[in-house]
Amino acid sequence: MKYANASVLLVRQKTATLAEEPRKKGKITNVNRVLLATDGSKYAEAVIQFLLDLPLPRHTEVIVTTALQSHLEAWMKTPTLDFRTNKELLDRLHTAEEAEARKITMKAEKRFRESGYKTASVVTRGGAGECIVAAAMEYNPDMVALGSKGLTGIESFLLGSVAERVARYANCSVLIGRTPR
């Protein structure tokens, strides 16, 4: 998964067991719910297009999620700054982040609705990997889909990998979309 130049699907036992059920000709019949994690990047767009190109059944529900993690929040809690001013600034920042996150999720939802899928969306706050894994636990999808920058070597070590964390801890299959290099 870490070194693949193409998209990767990691299949968990849950999905593999469902795959043993009778299939409809030419359709993937065992995916009823997909949790799509997006941040609006080209990597997220790649996995959205990959999913839209799959022959998923039209009854599949796509839950679009994005996670907000404000790095300014920690900076704003600096004791030398006025708390009231910080709180007001932080509230404005949160409102702006939420609005942008809604735009991102609505854009992805629209594409899936136009293709005939049921959709829902959720915006969470926290680390992306942790939020995606928590959403997978809560919504119990058959598959989590997310894009990956494909970090290797020292970048991956220093920055960590959201895709790697999700692949390791999700309770279902994981589709990691990569852009062609």
- Domain 8-177 falls under CATH 3.40.50.620: yes
pTM of the model: 0.81
Q: Any long-range contacts for 23-29 (C-beta under 8 Å, 24+ apart)? A: 24/57, 26/55, 27/55, 27/56, 27/57, 28/54, 28/55, 28/56, 28/57, 29/57
Domain boundaries, the chain: 8-177
pLDDT at 24: 53
pLDDT exceeds 80 at position 152 = no
CA 133, CA 138: separation in Å to the nearest integer? Answer: 9
What's 10's DSSP letter?
E
- Mean pLDDT, the chain, rounded, equals 81
Please tell me the distance from the alpha carbon of residue 120 to that of residue 62, in angstroms, as a whole number.
Answer: 7
- % of the chain surpassing 90 pLDDT: 46
Tell me the HSE value of 123 on the side-chain side, using a 13 A CA sphere: 19
Q: How confident is the model at residue 91 (pLDDT cuts 50, 70, 90)?
A: confident
